[in-house]
């Protein structure tokens, strides 16, 4: 449990172990819990969405739940996205890009990246309706039980909220497992990138695949395939720019994978 609790503490703002007593026995085993922590975040978002939906109009509710998703993670991944945008597109070589990414100040590329990702997430989440894919999934029985009291649109949005954080945390494991650490000195992402292997990426993929099958049946495998393709393409692009991953680029990978998931739902 120490590995799970440490991952939960690292990826969220939940006040666990304020005295910093929990230490994972093996940092390479912590990444197995990343998708599970993502699911815990998703359940929290789902439970938060229902009361918000009861009191506010849909447009406001969707905006508030995006805000809640940012708050529960302490904006950790969005900070990485902003730094990544500033560094990747603001520098002219590897050394300058890495130097810019260490700067705590936000630049124009970072601001544009934040506005774009949050805006697209909001628009995509707002557009989710009654997704036909779930009607033939094992989850369809659950829909029939509660659809008399809850709108199918709300149910499908809750499902998206549960799966979205899982996708983002899995993408971080994938990026760490197929890449190396870009910096010479240690940093936030060094222990994740240095200890994650392709075998661990394979095992960490079992839980997300099971969720996709349960909620979206065969369509889920197609959605997951799209996410894999975009994640690997993003990893290749980052490795071309700075030679590997950092803590910032892992955070950016999380945000981009979550957006690709929402967009993929709209495709199907």
Cα separation, 125 vs 117, in Å, equals 12
3-state DSSP helix/strand/coil % of the chain, to nearest 5 = 75, 0, 20
For 157, the token pair is: 């949005």
pTM, 2 dp: 0.91
Q: What letter does residue 185 receive in the DSSP assignment? A: S
Any idea which residue has 């300058």 for tokens?
96
Each residue of 13-38: pLDDT tens digit?
988 877 777 777 666 678 889 999 99
User: Would you say 49 and 159 are in contact if contact means Cβ atoms under 8 Å apart?
Assistant: no
User: Has residue 251 got a pLDDT over 90?
Assistant: yes
Give the pLDDT score at 190. Answer: 76
Which of 17-31, 39-53, 116-130, 232-246 shows the lowest per-residue confidence on average (mean pLDDT)? 17-31
User: Has residue 9 got a pLDDT over 70?
Assistant: yes
**Mean predicted confidence (pLDDT) in 85-105:** 89
Give the pLDDT score at 150. Answer: 73
User: Has residue 67 got a pLDDT over 70?
Assistant: yes
φ/ψ (deg, to 5) at 181 = -80, 130
Higher local confidence (pLDDT), 181 or 109:
109
| Chain centroid to CA 136 | 26
Q: At what angle do helices 2-11 and 34-55 cross, to 10 degrees?
A: 50
User: Has residue 55 got a pLDDT over 60?
Assistant: yes
Q: 3-state DSSP call for residue 118?
A: helix
φ/ψ (deg, to 5) at 86 = -60, -45
Each residue of 120-179: pLDDT tens digit?
999 999 988 766 555 556 666 666 555 556 777 888 899 999 999 999 999 999 999 888
């Amino acid at each position: 449990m120490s590995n799970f609790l440490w991952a939960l503490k690292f990826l969220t703002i939940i006040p666990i172990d304020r005295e910093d007593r929990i230490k994972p026995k093996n940092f390479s085993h912590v990444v197995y819990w990343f998708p599970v922590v993502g699911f815990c975040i998703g359940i929290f978002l789902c439970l938060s969405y229902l009361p918000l939906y009861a009191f506010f109009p849909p447009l406001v509710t969707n905006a508030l739940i995006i805000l809640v998703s940012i708050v529960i993670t302490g904006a950790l991944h969005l900070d990485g996205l902003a730094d990544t945008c500033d560094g990747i597109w603001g520098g002219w070589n590897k050394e300058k890009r890495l130097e810019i990414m260490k700067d705590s100040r936000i630049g124009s590329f970072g601001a544009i990246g934040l506005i774009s990702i949050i805006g697209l997430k909001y628009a995509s989440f707002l557009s989710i309706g009654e997704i036909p894919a779930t009607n033939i999934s094992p989850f369809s029985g659950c829909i029939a039980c509660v659809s008399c009291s809850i709108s199918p649109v709300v149910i499908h949005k809750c499902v998206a909220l549960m799966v979205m954080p899982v996708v983002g945390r899995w993408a971080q494991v994938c990026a760490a497992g197929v890449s190396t650490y870009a910096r010479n000195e240690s940093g936030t992402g060094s222990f994740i990138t240095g200890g994650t292997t392709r075998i661990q990426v394979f095992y960490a993929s079992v839980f997300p695949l099971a969720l996709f099958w349960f909620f979206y049946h065969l369509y889920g495998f197609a959605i997951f395939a799209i996410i894999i393709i975009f994640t690997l393409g993003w990893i290749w692009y980052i490795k071309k720019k700075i030679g590997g991953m950092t803590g910032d680029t892992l955070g950016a990978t999380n945000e981009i994978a979550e957006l690709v998931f929402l967009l993929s739902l709209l495709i199907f």
